[in-house]
Amino acid sequence: MAASLPMLNPPRHTRERRSLGSLFPHKSLATLRPFIERAADRLLDEFTEQLQHGPADFNTLVSEELPVIAIGEWMGLPAADYELLRTLTHDQVFAQELFPSPSQLALSDGATRQLRHYFAELIRERRAKPGIDPVSGWLSTWDELESDRHRADKAVHGLALFMILAALETTAHVLSSAVRLLLEHPDQMEYLRDHPQLIPAAVEEALRYDAPIHMISRIAPADTDLAGTLVPAGQMVQLMVGAAHHSPDQYPEPHRFDIRRRASHLAFGAGIHYCAGNALARLEAAALLTSLLRRPLRLRFSTPPRWAPRVAFRRITSLQLALV
Ligand code: HEM
């Protein structure tokens, strides 16, 4: 992970980030939008069908599915691999947690090895048969940047692998979290049903209220004065995004979920490392809530939601819902 985009400094970071181009320019989002809307509709159709037989897990059936379908379509990955990629990202993330146990780190190492192998194969395939997908595009960009093809392949390998890690759990979390928060605030859910133009604002409030990434790490490059506290060179600082989002200095009544708040937040980070995939995540969340609220479905929790015991990367593991 030490060589992944968020851990790099300029000039290496500038070079790698620029090589990606704009990941989701207006044109490619416009192409993806109908695909994602159809996928959200289909997943909710299937979820509704399951509900006819009793409680169903929104998290597994919908929230974990949509991000892998979206990223898989965008990167041109076979649907048969989605399950594997989802499992490997869940296992890999322990390496980025605060205090992973030795067994969690071993699981993470194994997942990283498998992901490396998966993306090495993908690079080989795209070299042999380039397409119009982003991985093929990055390969041709890196062929211009690097005279050594092996180094070009290595750079794209790292970027493509990181993209999957960055995209799956984070987006799945905001999907489940938005639905959970709206169910806990039925008045706001009903208001949103009547005012769907507020859906993007509701997504932002879900990102503020329960940010998928609660903690961002940085290392001070030199002795740094951080709001009156000296951070010595080389020391790691954990930026507690989740706490910042609930600071009364920034947000009036911070613990109140309020889709009309319209406040900025740090869920996608800030500065040069600002999330490159934010537009895709926002599109998925808005598409899902739009499709959900258009339906005459009235839902309730059948059992309380469950979370993985983590600090940095939030993960809802179960969101069992039933018909009212
Ligand atoms: C709700 C979903 C998402 C959240 C909350 C999220 C959050 C973040 C955060 C906090 C960072 C900055 C990390 C840091 O400063 O150390 C980041 C970076 C990044 N994200 Fe996301 N992300 C999401 C979805 C996505 C998706 C869907 C993609 C790709 C399609 C993506 C790709 C990236 C990349 C490439 C970076 C590295 C940027 C850089 O270092 O220059 N993210 N994300």
Count of domains forming the chain = 1
What pLDDT, on a 0 to 100 scale, did the predictor assign at position 243? 96
Domain range for 221: 5-323
Residue 158 has pLDDT above 90, yes or no: yes
**CATH number of the domain within which 97 lies:** 1.10.630.10
Take atom 28 of ligand 1 and give the residue whose Cα is closest. 277
Select from 71, 135, 265, 275 the residue to mutate for testing ligand 1; criterion: most ligand atoms less than 8 Å from CB: 275
Ligand 1 centre and the CA of 213: distance in Å?
Answer: 9
Count of other CB atoms within 10 angstroms of residue 207: 24
**Does residue 213 have its Cβ closer than 6 Å to ligand 1?**
yes
Which atom of ligand 1 is the closest one to the Cα of 168?
27
Contacts of 235 by beta carbon, 8 Å cutoff, 6+ apart: 219, 220
Ligand 1 centre and the CA of 171: distance in Å?
Answer: 10
Give the model confidence (pLDDT) of 245-280 as tens digits: 999 999 999 999 999 999 999 999 999 999 999 999
What distance in Å separates the CA atoms of residue 122 and residue 71, rounded to the nearest whole number? 14
Ligand 1 centre and the CA of 276: distance in Å?
Answer: 6
What distance in Å separates the CA atoms of residue 36 and residue 280, rounded to the nearest whole number? 10
What distance in Å separates the CA atoms of residue 82 and residue 80, rounded to the nearest whole number? 6
Residue 99 has pLDDT above 90, yes or no: no
Give the model confidence (pLDDT) of 207-260 as tens digits: 999 999 999 999 999 999 998 999 999 999 999 999 999 999 999 999 999 999
**Does residue 237 have its Cβ closer than 6 Å to ligand 1?**
no
What pLDDT, on a 0 to 100 scale, did the predictor assign at position 275? 98
What pLDDT, on a 0 to 100 scale, did the predictor assign at position 108? 96
Q: Mean pLDDT, to the nearest integer, of 191-220?
A: 97
Contacts of 179 by beta carbon, 8 Å cutoff, 6+ apart: 58, 63, 289, 292, 319
**Does residue 275 have its Cβ closer than 6 Å to ligand 1?**
yes
What pLDDT, on a 0 to 100 scale, did the predictor assign at position 138? 97
Give the model confidence (pLDDT) of 30-50 as tens digits: 999 999 999 999 999 999 999
Q: Across the strands, what pairs with 236?
A: 219
**Does residue 281 have its Cβ closer than 6 Å to ligand 1?**
yes
Assess contact for 201 and 258: CB atoms under 8 A.
no
Residue 54 has pLDDT above 90, yes or no: yes
Take atom 6 of ligand 1 and give the residue whose Cα is closest. 268
**Which amino acid is present at 97?**
E
> What DSSP string describes 260-292?
T------TT--GGG--TTHHHHHHHHHHHHHHH
Residue 302 has pLDDT above 90, yes or no: yes
**Does residue 268 have its Cβ closer than 6 Å to ligand 1?**
yes
**Does residue 312 have its Cβ closer than 6 Å to ligand 1?**
no
**Does residue 107 have its Cβ closer than 6 Å to ligand 1?**
no
Assess contact for 48 and 295: CB atoms under 8 A.
yes
